[in-house]
């Protein structure tokens, strides 16, 4: 409204008596509250509306140059934001209805009521219009980010498809989901999560052209409609642009947060022609992008639907697996490099699923992580591993250390310290015999949460090691902040250690780094004697790999231990003899 709440009214009325009456009533009953400008033709009204700002229009329907509902619609055309009140010569229920349906806010009957009534009608009309506008905005836009919402997105997509048919070009639909957004929300709080979504929206908008639509469907799900593209490749170019745009850190409550998107893309009319199916395709492709390691994009292909069914089946099976006791732990020995003795084991989960046989963890752990099932599964792993330590001790192997792998979600979605300590207490083992393995990438992503949990675990005597080391980008100073005991060189470096000089250099550097920080260095995936002797020369402490043993069931591991003991006593006997 204009200054000092003075309401500026445009009165469109060709009858001078009516004009005078309205003015007099308002200035008598509400002096100083209204400024009234008068015109007596619709054309004049339209011109003045374009030049000046009014708060409300009060208009007669029958003017010299216009009549009936057309008067209302033409005023709306010239400015759709203006509230309109109709001055009607007669009282009629059906006319009143028509007037309001045509988009006017109210109507007044000439010669009825006083200045107060007119004043109230004017104010209400302004308020009503504002609420209407707000509602229609809410119905189409996402209030957090200002992006199009699901409704407007569907409408725009529908229209884009029609337009493109005429131009014989393509429309690309992208479905974008932020990787691990839930973690950020849970750890830094919803306000931070909101800020992040706003920043992401801004970056997405920067990657698109004017005619394109960026929408937020809810949560951390975004869609982009690229209209009128010539080649499928054009969509890939934008997808890459989006990945790059998301790279810079976002500052949230004092933390630098990195966000990566997974993008699914489908093309109209190549993949499908209906809005619903296109959305489904893009969603499926997005899941595929996530499976392939996140922070990437993936075009939809017809084969994907069957994969999704497979995935859904795995997910359903996974939900029942714990209850049905379908999980088993395999154990892979960890060897001290200097004397080649077993010093412990890493517990590696397997899923014995009737339908599909023994399923390796890489096939189901990602699904367990996404669905949150990793929390109860992880608890089972920790408990079972601790029980195993207890039973080794009973059998006389009292010095073995058991390592378990822990996922990020076990830190964010459960009280991991309590879970671990409970298991240790219940199985009555020493905490020194338990080790948790977390990946380097977890440290990078969830700094704030893990640091205190790790510290607590460490204070209770639990060992901590960093898995897949070398694949992330930890710096020295960074590592020092965590209370860790060991680094595990990722097997991708070990594999070509004797043939690829880069890998050899990285492995040597990790070993030197570990030594300088007084950490134990473990090499993963050692398969040959050559690899082992290289590692030994560099001063690596421990090794794990097929050279010594694959991961094996508990009975077989016990067998390995017995054999080792037997050969040691044999050695002892021969030495004594």
Contacts with Mg ion by CB under 5 A lie at 405, 437, 467-468, 524
| Shortest Cβ 481–Mg ion spacing (Å) | 21
Shortest Cβ distance from residue 365 to ligand C2E (Å)?
Answer: 5
Which H, E and C letters describe 369-382, residue by residue? Answer: HHHCCHHHHHHHHH
Strands 542-543 and 327-336: antiparallel
At its nearest, how many Å lie between ligand C2E and the CB of residue 279?
32
Nearer to Mg ion, 95 or 406 (CB): 406
Does residue 229 contact residue 171 with C-beta atoms inside 8 Å? yes
Distance CA 188, CA 123 (A): 44
Residue number with CB closer to ligand C2E (220 or 468) = 468
As measured in angstroms, the least distance from the Cβ of 360 to ligand C2E is 5
Residue 503's binding partner among ligand C2E, Mg ion, none (Cβ under 5 to 8 angstroms by kind) is none
Please say which residue, 172 or 521, places its beta carbon nearer to ligand C2E.
521
Q: How far apart are CA 332 and CA 343, in angstroms?
A: 11
104 binds, among ligand C2E, Mg ion, none (CB under 5 to 8 A by kind): none
Looking at 87-170, list the stretches that DSSP marks H as alpha helix, in order from N- to C-terminal side: 93-101, 115-140, 150-167
Q: Which is nearer to Mg ion, 238 or 464 (CB)?
A: 464
Q: For residues 72 and 359, which CB has a smaller minimum distance to ligand C2E in the complex?
A: 359
DSSP-H helix ranges across 395-438? 408-412, 416-427
> Could you tell me which residues come within 8 angstroms of residue 230 by beta carbon, excluding any fewer than 6 positions away?
169, 170
Nearer to Mg ion, 59 or 405 (CB): 405
Token pair of 523 as six digits: 């090499």
Whole-number minimum distance, CB 556 to ligand C2E, in Å?
Answer: 14
Contact 184, 252 (CB under 8 A): yes
CA-to-CA separations, 67 to 9, 41, 60, 265, in angstroms, rounded: 21, 11, 9, 52
Q: Using CB atoms within 10 A of its CB, is residue 552 exposed (0-12), middle (13-18) or buried (19+)?
A: middle
- Binding residues for ligand C2E, rule: CB under 6 A, are 332, 348-349, 360-362, 365, 378, 381, 405-407, 437, 467-468, 491, 524-527, 544-546, 551
By beta-carbon proximity to Mg ion, the closer residue of 264 and 344 is 344
> CB of residue 403 vs Mg ion: minimum separation in angstroms?
7
Q: DSSP strand E in 194-287: where?
A: 213-218, 221-229, 250-252, 255-257, 261-268
DSSP code, position 234: H
Report in angstroms how near the CB of residue 195 gets to Mg ion at its nearest: 34
Chain-centre distance for alpha carbon 545: 36
């Amino acid at each position: 409204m204009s200054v000092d709440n003075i309401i500026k009214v445009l009165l469109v009325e060709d009858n001078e008596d009516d004009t005078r009456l309205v003015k007099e009533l308002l200035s008598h009953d509400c002096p100083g509250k209204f400024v009234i400008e008068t015109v007596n033709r619709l054309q004049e009204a339209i011109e003045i509306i374009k030049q000046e700002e009014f708060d409300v229009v009060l208009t007669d329907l029958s003017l010299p140059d216009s009549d009936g509902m057309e008067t209302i619609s033409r005023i709306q055309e010239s400015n759709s934001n203006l509230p309109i009140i109709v001055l009607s010569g007669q009282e009629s229920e059906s006319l009143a209805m028509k007037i309001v349906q045509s988009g006017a806010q109210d109507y007044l009957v000439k010669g009825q009521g006083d200045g107060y009534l007119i004043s109230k009608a004017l104010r209400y009309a302004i308020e009503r219009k504002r609420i209407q506008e707000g509602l229609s905005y809410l119905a189409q836009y996402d209030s957090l980010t200002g992006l199009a919402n699901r409704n407007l997105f569907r409408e725009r997509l529908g229209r884009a498809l029609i337009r493109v048919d005429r131009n014989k070009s393509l429309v690309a639909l992208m479905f974008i989901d932020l990787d691990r957004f839930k973690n950020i929300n849970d750890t830094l709080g919803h306000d931070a999560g909101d800020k992040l979504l706003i920043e992401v929206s801004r970056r997405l908008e920067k990657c698109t052209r004017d005619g394109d639509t960026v929408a937020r469907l809810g949560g951390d799900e975004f869609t982009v409609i690229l209209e009128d593209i010539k080649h499928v490749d054009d969509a890939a170019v934008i997808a890459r642009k989006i990945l790059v745009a998301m790279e810079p850190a976002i500052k949230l409550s004092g933390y630098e947060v990195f966000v990566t998107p997974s993008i699914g893309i489908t093309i109209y009319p190549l993949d499908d022609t209906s809005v619903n199916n296109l959305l489904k395709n893009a969603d499926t492709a997005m899941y595929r992008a996530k499976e392939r390691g996140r922070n990437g994009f993936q075009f939809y292909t017809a084969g994907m639907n069957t994969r999704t069914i497979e995935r859904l089946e795995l997910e359903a099976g996974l939900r029942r697996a714990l209850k049905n006791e379908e999980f088993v732990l395999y154990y892979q020995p960890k060897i001290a490099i200097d004397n080649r003795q077993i010093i412990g084991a890493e517990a590696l989960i397997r899923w014995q699923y009737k339908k599909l046989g023994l399923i390796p963890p890489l096939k189901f752990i990602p699904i367990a992580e996404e669905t949150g099932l990793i929390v109860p599964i992880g608890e089972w792993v920790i408990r079972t591993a601790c029980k195993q330590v207890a039973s080794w001790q009973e059998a006389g192997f009292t010095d073995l250390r058991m390592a378990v792998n822990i996922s990020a979600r076990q830190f964010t979605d459960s009280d991991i310290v309590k879970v671990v300590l409970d298991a240790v207490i219940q199985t009555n083992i020493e905490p020194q015999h338990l080790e948790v393995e977390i990946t380097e990438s977890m440290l990078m992503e969830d700094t704030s949460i893990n640091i205190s949990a790790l510290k607590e675990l460490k204070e209770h005597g639990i060992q901590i090691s960093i898995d897949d080391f070398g694949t992330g980008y930890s710096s020295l100073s960074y590592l020092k902040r965590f209370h860790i005991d060991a680094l595990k060189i990722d097997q991708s470096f070990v594999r070509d250690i004797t043939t690829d000089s880069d890998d050899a250099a990285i492995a040597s550097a990790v070993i030197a780094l570990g030594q300088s920080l007084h950490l134990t260095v473990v090499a993963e995936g050692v398969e040959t004697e050559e690899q082992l002797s290289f590692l030994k020369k560099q001063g690596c402490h421990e090794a794990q790999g097929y050279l010594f043993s694959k991961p094996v069931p508990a009975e077989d591991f016990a067998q390995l231990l017995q054999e080792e003991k037997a050969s040691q006593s044999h050695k002892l006997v021969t030495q004594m003899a």
